[in-house]
Structure 1
Amino acid sequence: MKDVIIVGGGLAGLSAAWRLKSHDILLLESDDRVGGRVVSEKRGDYWLNWGGHVYAGEGSATDELFKSVGVHSQSVPGKLTAMSLNGKLLLNGRVELYPFRVPMSWKSRLALLCTGAKVRAGVIKYGRVAKRKTSEDYSVRQQRVFDFMNDKTFSEFTGELPEDADAIFRPTVSRSTGDPEQISAGAGIGYFDMIWNKSTGLSRIIMGGPSTLTEDIACTLGERVKLNSAVSEVIQHEDHVTVQYTQNGETHRVDARYIIMATPAPITRKVVKNIDPEMGNALDQVTYGPHVSASFLTGETGPQIWDDVYSFATPKRSFDILIHNSNVVHSQSEERKPGSSFMTFSPAGRGKKLLDKSEEEIIKIYLDDLNEIFPGFSEHVVEAHVKKFPLGSAYVFPGRGKIQPLLTKPDRRLYLAGDYLGTLYTETAIQTGFTAAQNINDLLNYQN
Structure 2
Amino acid sequence: MTSHEVHEETAEVVVVGAGIAGLTAATTLVSDTEVVVLEASDRAGGRVDTVRQGDYWINVGTQFTEGTGPLIDALDRHGIERGSLAGKSVALYLNGGLVDTANPLALMFRTRMSFTDRIAMAVIGARIFAVAPFLESQSRLARKVRAKLDTMPAAYLLKGIRSELAAQIVGSWSAQWMGCEVRETAATQFVTSVGIALTDPEKVPNFSLPVGGNQTLTDVLAADLGDRIRLNSVVRSVRQDGEGVVVDYLDGDRPARVRARRAIVTAPADIAQRIIPDLPQPYRNAFADIAYGRYLVVGFFTDEVGPQRWDRYFGVSTPQLSFQAMFNHAAAMRTGDDRKPGGALACFAGGAHADALFALSDEEVVSRFTNDLLSLFPELDGKLGEGIVRRHHRVVPFWAAGRKASLPALRAPLGNIYLAGDYQLELPSLADAAESGEQAGKAVRASLHGPLEPK
Is the pair's TM-score, using the shorter chain for normalization, greater than 0.5?
yes
Cα distance change on mapping 1:438 and 1:148 into 2, 3 Å: farther
Cα distance change on mapping 1:167 and 1:278 into 2, 3 Å: same
Q: String of CA shifts for 1:166-206, please: whole Å, max 9, x gaps.
A: 22222223321221111112222111233233544861221
Structure-1 residue corresponding to 2:151: 151
Structure-2 residue corresponding to 1:265: 269
Pair 1:183-2:192 in alignment? no
Report the more deviating stretch, 103-112 or 75-84: 75-84
Shift of 1:110: 0.9
1:148 & 1:51 partners in 2: Cα distance? 32
Counterpart contact for 2:298–2:387, Cα < 8 Å? yes
SS class of match (1:344): strand
Tell me which amino acid in the other structure corresponds to 2:152.
K
Q: 2:214 aligns with which of 189, 210, 217?
A: 210
1:319 & 1:298 partners in 2: Cα distance? 18
1:194 & 1:156 partners in 2: Cα distance? 18
Pair 1:195-2:204 in alignment? no
Q: 2:396 aligns with which of 393, 398, 401?
A: 393
Shift of 1:104: 1.7
Structure-2 residue corresponding to 1:137: none
Please give the TM-score of this superposition, normalised by the length of structure 1. 0.92
Tell me which amino acid in the other structure corresponds to 1:119.
I
Shift of 1:276: 2.6
Cα distance change on mapping 1:247 and 1:264 into 2, 3 Å: same
Tell me which amino acid in the other structure corresponds to 2:444.
I
Shift of 1:234: 1.4
2:431 & 2:202 partners in 1: Cα distance? 15
Q: String of CA shifts for 1:347-377, please: whole Å, max 9, x gaps.
A: 1111111112111111111112101111152
1:374 & 1:128 partners in 2: Cα distance? 40
2:24 & 2:144 partners in 1: Cα distance? 24
Counterpart contact for 2:296–2:358, Cα < 8 Å? yes
Counterpart contact for 1:46–1:326, Cα < 8 Å? yes
Shift of 1:416: 1.2
Shift of 1:238: 2.1
Q: String of CA shifts for 1:204-237, please: whole Å, max 9, x gaps.
A: 2211111100000001111101111111121111
1:53 & 1:308 partners in 2: Cα distance? 17
Pair 1:50-2:60 in alignment? yes
2:410 & 2:395 partners in 1: Cα distance? 19
1:275 & 1:336 partners in 2: Cα distance? 55
Shift of 1:122: 1.1
Q: 2:246 aligns with which of 204, 225, 242?
A: 242
Pair 1:26-2:36 in alignment? yes
1:96 & 1:395 partners in 2: Cα distance? 32
User: Alignment length, in residue pairs?
Assistant: 436
The unaligned stretches of length 5 or more in structure 2 are: 1-9
1:204 & 1:303 partners in 2: Cα distance? 21
Structure-1 residue corresponding to 2:5: none
What are the within-5 Å matches in structure 2 for residues 246-395 of structure 1? 246-332=250-336, 334-395=337-398
Pair 1:121-2:124 in alignment? no
Structure-1 residue corresponding to 2:94: 85
SS class of match (1:90): strand
1:40 & 1:144 partners in 2: Cα distance? 40
Pair 1:68-2:72 in alignment? no
Please give the TM-score of this superposition, normalised by the length of structure 2. 0.90
SS class of match (2:313): coil
Identity %: 28
The unaligned stretches of length 5 or more in structure 1 are: 133-140
Q: CA RMSD in A?
A: 2.3
2:383 & 2:100 partners in 1: Cα distance? 21
Cα distance change on mapping 1:447 and 1:81 into 2, 3 Å: closer
